[in-house]
């Protein structure tokens, strides 16, 4: 499926100088993007799991020289995305498959890997108590990427729930 996503982007006219996969895991989308867009100058993949980054490095090292490819262990929530993007040649393609989980589900699972607690939707009182403050982690992540990409020639291509995509489109249009 990663190859199909990248081929779709190519057919739609996407021609990036740089590629970022912010939660790259084993690097499936990054590998497909490098194969689909061979003229990419820089590719950046990040993941919180060091073993995934090591496996991605072994796999992707054959596809791109180290001068073009940078893989690093990083927590999405700790990265300054504007800074990471500003150092890359444009246009930038951000591609990925962020986690399909809500903040409350991560809390139930005992995960500490959550975004900083903020009332980014402005809910209060009863709405906050009845669950309206619950959100998909990918929604928060995509909002940060939209903000960081603002003013940069770019394409944001993320696999996410339709409900999240609608919220991100509304967020983008309101900007």
Give the total number of structural domains in the chain. 2
For residues 111 and 162, state if they share a domain.
Answer: no
* CA gap 87, 9 in Å, rounded: 23
For residues 40 and 56, state if they share a domain.
Answer: yes
* The total number of residues written for the chain in this structure: 175
For residues 145 and 170, state if they share a domain.
Answer: yes
For residues 76 and 40, state if they share a domain.
Answer: yes
pLDDT digits (tens, 9 = 90+) for 72-100: 999 999 999 999 999 999 999 999 998 86
- Give the residue numbers spanning the domain of 71: 2-100+137-174
Mean pLDDT of 19-39: 95
pLDDT at 13: 97
Dihedral through CA 81, CA 161, CA 57, CA 78, nearest 10? 30
For residues 27 and 62, state if they share a domain.
Answer: yes
pLDDT digits (tens, 9 = 90+) for 133-161: 556 778 889 999 999 999 999 999 999 88
Q: Mean pLDDT in the chain?
A: 84
For residues 42 and 118, state if they share a domain.
Answer: no
129 three-class SS: helix
Q: How confident is the model at residue 67 (pLDDT cuts 50, 70, 90)?
A: confident
- State the CATH number of the domain containing residue 32: 3.40.50.150
For residues 21 and 61, state if they share a domain.
Answer: yes
Determine the angle formed by the axes of helices 137-149 and 162-174, rounding to 10 degrees. 30
pLDDT at 100: 63
For residues 127 and 72, state if they share a domain.
Answer: no
Place of tokens 């040649």: 89
For residues 112 and 26, state if they share a domain.
Answer: no
For residues 49 and 93, state if they share a domain.
Answer: yes
- Rounded to two decimals, the pTM is 0.81
């Amino acid at each position: 499926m990663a190859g199909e996503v990248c081929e779709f982007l190519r057919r739609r006219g996407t021609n990036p100088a740089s590629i970022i996969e912010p939660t790259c895991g084993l690097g499936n989308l990054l590998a497909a993007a490098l194969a689909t867009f061979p003229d990419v100058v820089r590719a950046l993949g990040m993941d919180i799991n060091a073993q995934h980054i090591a496996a991605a490095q072994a796999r992707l090292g054959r596809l791109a020289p180290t001068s073009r490819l940078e893989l690093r262990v990083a927590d999405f929530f700790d990265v300054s995305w504007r800074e990471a993007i500003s150092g890359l040649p444009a246009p930038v393609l951000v591609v990925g498959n962020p986690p399909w989980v809500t903040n409350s589900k991560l809390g139930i699972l005992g995960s500490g890997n959550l975004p900083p607690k903020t009332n980014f939707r402005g809910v209060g009182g009863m709405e906050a108590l009845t669950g309206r403050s619950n959100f998909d982690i990918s929604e928060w992540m995509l909002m940060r990427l939209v903000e960081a990409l603002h003013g940069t020639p770019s394409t944001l291509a993320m696999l996410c729930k339709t409900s999240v995509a609608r919220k991100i489109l509304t967020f983008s249009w309101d900007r």
